[in-house]
Amino acid sequence: MRAWPLFACALALLAPLPVSAFGAKQVNVAKGEDVWFAEDHTLPMIALVAAFPAGSADDPAGRDGLASFAASMLNEGGGKLDSNAFQTALADKAIQLSVDTDRDWMVVTLITLSANAKDAMHLLGTALAHPRFDADAVSRVRAQMLQNLNQLEEDPSQVAARNFHLVYFGAHPYAHPTDGDAPGLAGIKQADLREFAASHWVRTGLKIAVAGDIDVTTLAGLVKSTFGPLRATQLSPPPRSMRQGAPGLHVFAMDVPQPNAVFALQGPLRSDKDFLSAYVANYVLGGGGFSSRLTTEVREKRGLTYDISTDVTTLRHAGIIEGTVATRSNAMTQTLAAVKDTMAKFAADGPTPQELADAKTYLTGAYPLAFSSNAGIAGQLSVYQRSGLPIGYVARRNAMIDAVSLDDVKRVARKWFDPRKLTVVVAGTIKAK
Amino acid sequence: MGFSRAAFAIAIAALSATAAGPAPAAGPDAFQFALQNGMQVVVIPDHRAPVVTQMIWFKVGGVDDPPGLSGLAHFFEHMMFRGTKQTPGDEFSRTLARNGGEDNAFTTHDYTAFFEQIAKSRLPIAMSLEADRMANLDLSDSNVTTERDVVLEERRMRIENDPQALLAEQIDAALHLSHPYGRPVIGWPEEVHRIGRLEAQDFYKHHYAPNNAILIVAGDVTVDEVRNDAQAAFGKVPARELVPRSVYAEPPRLTETRLAAASPDAKVPVFMRVYRVPSYAEAAPGQAEALETLAQLLGGDLTGLLYRRLVVEKHVATNVGASYDGYARDDGEFQVSAYPRPGVSLTALEQAVDQVIAGASKAAPNAKDLARAKTQLVASATYRRDSQFALASAYGQALSIGLTAFDVKAWPDRIQAVTAEQVRKAASDALVKKEAVSATLTPATR
């Protein structure tokens, strides 16, 4: 277990580091193991992203959706403030508190006017350290979550995504939907929520990224008063070893005009030395929007879809090369064949030198776009924190992309982009032509 | 929930999430000028990062689709990516991407917008690409059939796969008796099938010209830089004679329209109501701002009256929403939606909604609630400044419907000036059922 490093030497850790090295001037990133800070006083506002290792992979057996349920209670009060009082206190100061739960993390985003930073942080701290889980609020949020589950059954893209994870991860805790299932949600009691919050909303493993109109000293004080009262605990053990992927076609029948498909392969972990090469390779194949090979082949040449893309997703314990496409029922077979052909050619030959050069100039040239707003900066820094990267990565990243060679990308294309291993999940009905 | 009538692009979703209204009085200024060919230009300096957002808003949209060809404006937005002699095929997006840029476009009833986000040093490239396709689009080789298939897939994705979107499309069709706001921007499928190259070329000739366009540049630029670059790129594009836009009158409605849809694709019941109300372009001074404040008070967040009464106190709903869509050249819309708690009938839910609305029409909001709503709206303008795209969009949207940059800048002050009585009167005047469509969606067995 690692000690909470912030309070012992907060000011030293928060010494500003200009990030002009990577091209975003007038933004300073402060260095700390757990608190990254980009100071900018242009606008009177602050964005803060706090990530707790409290994702759905931590749901206990039979309590699918517990992490997400607990997170959804974050704006339902704390300490002496019930839901009504808490939500009124946020709204009176236009403080925006939102939360998102994925498989590994609970990600809390706080947007506030800088004049209200102290109130915003105090409310967040109260909700985290002294959650109430009042019966009527629990009942209300449960009803909302159950209704959301019902409603996403209307949407083939959601049905495909949920079933994809079930198929792809099998018995692993990454398999079940992050927002749980009806039996799991129905069985969750106030005590379960309390216990989960007490054991998972903790300082250990917490990552904080801040951008905007505040000074280092004030921020350090607020971080201490907000997150200091949380407990430090042992992190949960890493999830069980997993079997990734279930090659072949899995159809989940739905009567919809446009079936949706998820197609995926095992990819490198974020810590894998192949990661950036695979990231560049993915840009050429399916990550590059209108310029990608898949968009050219499936949309531009054949008119089979409005949107096809692939992404290199990294969970803490799994990497996935994951794509989505949607088309009419009688074109899905042709579409999936075009995807596989395009991928097979890419695996065999890799990108052309021009494609690699274009990928690099896009990826490095577009990098500063992610750093053009306080909300964007805090979000991007948080992603890097959660990926286990050092803060110096912000400045080094473009040079690392430039260092990827044609041989690197050809090698990872052969190694990772094998269409014979594709797991394909379709929500909808596949019809003959 | 959103069932904005203007939701036919990736980008507009981001826009409507923050589209309560334009920018605040504090902070960096926006600057406006015009080129000699009539192109309007707005510059919004923001020097925090060395990047820019360029948007070009054409004052043409679904409203301008010829009869029998709904969807043409949106289809044409797609064709704008099909190349010129100088930048053939898909080289437009490829050139931008090679330069580290991102681009896309979106179409609504009133306007069509194209945008690029790119490093500041590459702005002249983005400008020259846009100027080229404004004047020299070459549709002679393009495969219209393929792009039509893409658009029909887009329609399946956004509308046909989603029972609520299908119902919202029919609500709009029922709400607008005569105005083309009742036609879907993405088009009725049968009419999209009829669009051909000639129709696309005609549309281009009649509507795409610098004197029908607004250029917005937000980011790490100065006014002088943009003036020079814009003059060099767009200044040489000649103005064209535009086909005058049709002016549509909308007759008063005699009575409420009610729609009751049952769909096997729906898994949850929902109640929706859309009122035809004055837009920012039409409203008397202060009226649109009062409607904006009313929407915030009713359904802006978890402290909204609808949420408090229906979800928290009466337990008749799991979720509710209210929003004002006032950025339209002609009529605006005020939308209310509610999901019943299991076991609660849609009739009982609608009655509860009506009680809250009747209350807002009779009694002015209390001072604390009003202050809270205004605080949130004014702060939303500050939060919007954080995003080049959102701020540029606020100006583009406003100018496209005939407002001025001054209106955008004055918006927070105008919200601050809204009185409790104005809010009550806005509810009483505008939220009247004969100017509304009330609709229910119920799950049905197949």
CB contact under 8 A, B388 and A372: yes
Q: What mean pLDDT is predicted for residues A391-416?
A: 95
Instruction: State residue B365's pLDDT score.
Output: 98
CA distance A339 to A335: 6
Put simply, the answer to whether B156 touches A328 (Cβ < 8 Å) is yes
CB contact burial B340-375 (16+ within 10 A = b; e otherwise) = bbeebebeebbebbeebbeebbeebbeeebbebbbb
End-to-end CA distance of chain A: 59
Residue A277 CA to residue A198 CA, distance in Å, equals 40
Of A24, A304, A305, which is closest to B49 when you measure between CB atoms? A24
Task: State the Cα angle at A145 between A144 and A149, rounded to 5°.
Answer: 115
Q: Find where tokens 């019943």 sit.
A: B340
Q: Tell me the one-letter amino acid at B287.
A: Q
Tell me which H or E stretch contains A48. strand A45-52
- Please, where are the H alpha helices in A246-373? 275-282, 293-294, 332-349, 353-365
Please indicate whether, in this complex, the C-beta atoms of B48 and A45 are within 8 angstroms of each other: no
CB contact under 8 A, A362 and B153: no
Residue of chain B whose alpha carbon sits nearest to that of A297: B146
Q: Residue A415 half-sphere exposure, CB side, CA atoms within 13 Å?
A: 13
Q: What Rg, from alpha-carbon coordinates, does chain A have?
A: 23
- CA nearest to B373, candidates B260, B297, B259, B275: B297
Query: Rounded to two decimals, what is the model's pTM?
Result: 0.92
Is residue B99 within 8 A of residue B91, CB to CB? The reply is: no
Catalytic one of B77, B199, B292, B350? B77
The neighbouring-strand residues paired with B337 are B272, B321
The answer for A134, left when phi > 0, alpha when psi is -120 to 50, beta otherwise, is beta
Q: What is the pLDDT of residue A155?
A: 96
pLDDT at A236: 65
Count chain A–chain B contacts defined by CB atoms under 8 A: 197
CA distance A378 to chain B (A): 12
Distance from CA of B151 to the nearest CA of A (A): 7
Task: Determine the residue type at B128.
Answer: S
- Judged against a pLDDT cut of 80, whether residue A272 lies above it is answered with yes
Q: Is-contact A79 A90, C-beta < 8 A? A: no
C-alpha triplet A392, A397, A401: angle, nearest 5°: 155
Distance of residue A310 Cα from the nearest chain B Cα, in angstroms = 17
Active-site annotation holds for B292: no
Beta-bridge partner residues of B322: B336
Residues B216, B217, B219: CA angle, nearest 5 degrees: 145
- What percentage of chain A carries pLDDT values higher than 70? 91
Bridge partners, B333 (sequence order)? B276, B325
Q: What is each CA distance from A107 to A70, A230, A376, B348, in whole angstroms?
A: 12, 16, 14, 37
CB B65 within 8 A of CB B58: no
Residue A1 CB coordination number (10 Å) = 9
Is residue A132 within 8 A of residue A413, CB to CB? The reply is no
List CB contacts of B1: < 8 A, sequence separation 6 or more.
B164, B319, B321, B337
Measured between beta carbons, the chain A residues lying within 8 angstroms of B162 are 154-155
Calpha distance B325→B343 (Å, rounded):
32
Q: Are A274 and A344 in contact (CB under 8 A)?
A: no
| pLDDT tens-digit series, residues A329-365 | 999 999 999 999 999 999 999 999 999 999 999 999 9
* Amino acid at residue number A300: E
Alpha-carbon torsion (A261, A265, A266, A269), positive or negative: negative
CB-based contact B49 A291, cutoff 8 Å: no
pLDDT tens figures, A103-153:
999 999 999 999 999 999 999 999 999 999 999 999 999 999 999 999 999
- From chain B, pick out residues whose CB is under 8 angstroms from the CB of A44: 26, 382
Per-residue tokens: B259: 């729609």
CA distance B174 to B256: 10
Q: Give percent of chain A above pLDDT 90.
A: 82
Which residues lie closer than 8 Å to B169 by C-beta, 6 or more apart?
B159, B184
What is chain B's pLDDT, residue by residue, as a tens digit (446 residues)?
222 333 232 222 223 333 334 444 444 579 999 999 999 999 999 998 999 999 999 999 999 999 999 999 999 999 999 999 999 988 999 999 999 999 999 999 999 999 999 999 999 999 999 999 999 999 887 678 999 999 999 999 999 999 999 999 999 999 999 999 999 999 999 999 999 999 999 999 999 999 999 999 999 999 999 999 999 999 999 999 998 888 998 999 999 999 999 999 999 999 999 999 999 999 999 999 999 999 999 999 999 999 999 999 999 999 999 999 999 999 999 999 999 999 999 999 999 999 999 999 999 999 999 999 999 999 999 999 999 999 999 999 999 999 999 999 999 999 999 999 999 999 999 999 999 999 999 999 87
Q: Among residues A4, A22, A43, A2, which one has the least CA distance to residue A380?
A: A22
DSSP code of residue A283: I
Contact A323, A286 (CB under 8 A): yes
Residue B287 CA to residue B292 CA, distance in Å, equals 9
Which of B97, B152, B382 comes nearest A43 by C-beta? Answer: B382
Residue B268 C-alpha, separation from nearest chain A C-alpha, in angstroms: 6
User: How much is the pLDDT for A129?
Assistant: 97
CA distance A40 to chain B (A): 8
Interface test with A, best of B52, B92, B145, B157 (most A CBs within 10 A): B157
Q: How far is CA B195 from its chain centroid?
A: 24
- A37-72 pLDDT tens trace: 998 999 999 999 999 999 999 999 999 999 999 999
pLDDT in tens, A183-240: 999 999 999 999 999 999 998 899 999 999 999 889 989 998 999 899 988 766 666 6
Between CA A221 and CA A120 the distance in angstroms is 13
Place of tokens 């929706």: B272
The DSSP string of B217-272 is EEES--HHHHHHHHHHHHTTSPP-PPPPPP----PPPSS-EEEEEEETT--S-EEE
Chain B residues closer than 8 Å to A25 by CB: 49-50
Chain-chain contact of A361 with B380 (C-beta, under 8 angstroms): no
Closest CA to B436 of B169, B178, B108, B172: B172
Residues A155-188 pLDDT 10s? 999 999 999 999 999 989 999 999 999 999 999 9
Chain B CA closest to residue A76: B302
What is residue A235's predicted lDDT score, i.e. its pLDDT?
Answer: 66
Return the sign of the alpha-carbon dihedral for residues A19, A22, A25, A27: negative
| ipTM for the complex shown | 0.91
Cα within 13 Å of Cα(B35), Cβ side: 28
The CA distance from B204 to B138, in Å, is 10
Residue B18: predicted pLDDT = 35
Higher-pLDDT residue of A233 and A82 is: A82
Separation of CA B408 from chain center: 15
